[in-house]
Amino acid sequence: MSSFKAFDLIPTLRTTLNSKGFTQPTEIQQRAIPLLLEGRSVVGISETGSGKTLSYAIPVLHILKSLELAGDPVSVEAQPRAAVIVPSRELGEQVAKVFKLFTHDTRLRVRSVLGGTTMEVARKNITGTFEVLVATPGRLVQLMDRRLVNLSDVRFLVFDEADQMLDQGFLPDATRIVRECSNDLQLALFTATASTAVQELIAKMFSEAEVIESEGSHRLVSSLTTVNRKIKDGKRFPVLKELLSEKVEGGTLIFTNTREQCDKLALELAEKGYDCAIYRGEMDKIERRQNLKSFREGKIDLLISTDLASRGLDVEHVGRVLNYHLPQEIENYLHRAGRTARAGREGTVINFVTERDEPLMKQLESVRAPAKKPKGKTRK
């Protein structure tokens, strides 16, 4: 199946897909959409940037609109039919944005209740009737406690970036959310990595689900170029200056391992006259969002971050990722590298390699994407 036309989607969805320039489904979309449309539950293990949001958004919208067209619209306030659970406000906003691409034509309504916004905003967002709720787990549980939202009609529940939520000890909330949903519940879970905690969740709640592991998961995508720069005597900054003098398409996302390294580098760059911003934990949330926005919009080309920015964030124009300080864990490396070369686009990851990074460099050999095959031959 090589085109969205091959799915039996309602016409409004097809039209929007076309008009937004989505013509060919990505691998995870090709495999997940038909199963979800059939009513199956799905676990998708798929590398970041693989197009997983649409792989559940399209079936959700199709199923909900079909119910409405069959004469069964949502009629009760604050009682959605689909819920998407996300680990962070940023990801929630991104997911809501993807859904909203389709709401003009489908007339389905998407609301969000996300941590990091006030309770008042959350309450306001869920007044009236709507079909899809995008929520962070903590905020959703608060609203459930106050009986401000009713999940009894939720027939489609998605856990997105489940590996990140489990980092935050989310299993009890997840269990409770599932219990409050309709008995006839279809589940979808997406994760970049199948960590032990994720496997536990799958065993507990998704034992009936079809597991799809996309070819590229745990691997680096083939449109990514990797460059290793040897660092001698700890002298990273001269190498960075050299790299920053090169003209590149798109922004540069620079990773460090700690908040201190992040701030120190930002200061050094600012002193040398580079326009840059930081994105890390324990900083003013408004400033952090503003920094991300400026980077997203291309107003600044350099964003210096810790692993906080390595997961889930979809920033369109990252041309290269610099690992100024390499992480120790391969999973973190994969998340960082996944910020560029998204959805088949080209991208580069440049590693500042010291002797201490040798163990990671060895592990990296096993996750490189296979070399592209010559044209004319198809790959299974």
Residues that bind ligand AMP in the complex, under the rule CB under 6 A: 22, 24-26, 29, 49-54, 314, 342-343
Decide whether 29 or 256 has the Cβ nearer to ligand AMP: 29
Nearer to ligand AMP, 336 or 342 (CB): 342
Q: Which is nearer to ligand AMP, 188 or 240 (CB)?
A: 188
How far apart (Å, rounded) are the C-alpha atoms in residues 11 and 302?
A: 42
Kindly state the smallest distance separating residue 103's Cβ from ligand AMP, in Å: 16
State which residue, 23 or 328, has the beta carbon closest to ligand AMP: 23
What phi and psi, each to the nearest 5 degrees, are found at residue 253? -105, 120
CA distances to 122, 216, 239 from 346, rounded to whole Å, are 38, 15, 22
Q: Give min distance, CB of 318 to ligand AMP, in A.
A: 11
CB of 109 to ligand AMP, least distance (A): 21
d(C-alpha 77, C-alpha 147), whole Å:
12
Nearest approach, Cβ of residue 217 and ligand AMP (Å): 12
Work out how close the CB of 1 gets to ligand AMP at its nearest, in angstroms, rounded to a whole number. Answer: 12
| Separation CA 228–CA 264 (nearest Å) | 23
Nearest to 151 by CA among 174, 172, 124: 174
User: Nearest distance from residue 173's CB to ligand AMP, in Å?
Assistant: 23
Nearer to ligand AMP, 126 or 337 (CB): 337
C-beta of 327 vs 338, nearer to ligand AMP: 338
Q: Kindly tell me which of 50 and 79 has the beta carbon lying closer to ligand AMP.
A: 50
Report the Cα 252 to chain-centroid distance in Å. 19
Give me the least distance between CB of 98 and ligand AMP, in Å please.
7
- Comparing CB distances to ligand AMP, the nearer of 214 and 256 is 214
CB 116 to ligand AMP: min, Å = 20
CB nearer ligand AMP, residue 17 or residue 262:
17
| Min CB(298)–ligand AMP separation in Å | 15
Of 52 and 236, which has the nearer Cβ to ligand AMP? 52
- CB 142 → ligand AMP: shortest distance, Å? 27
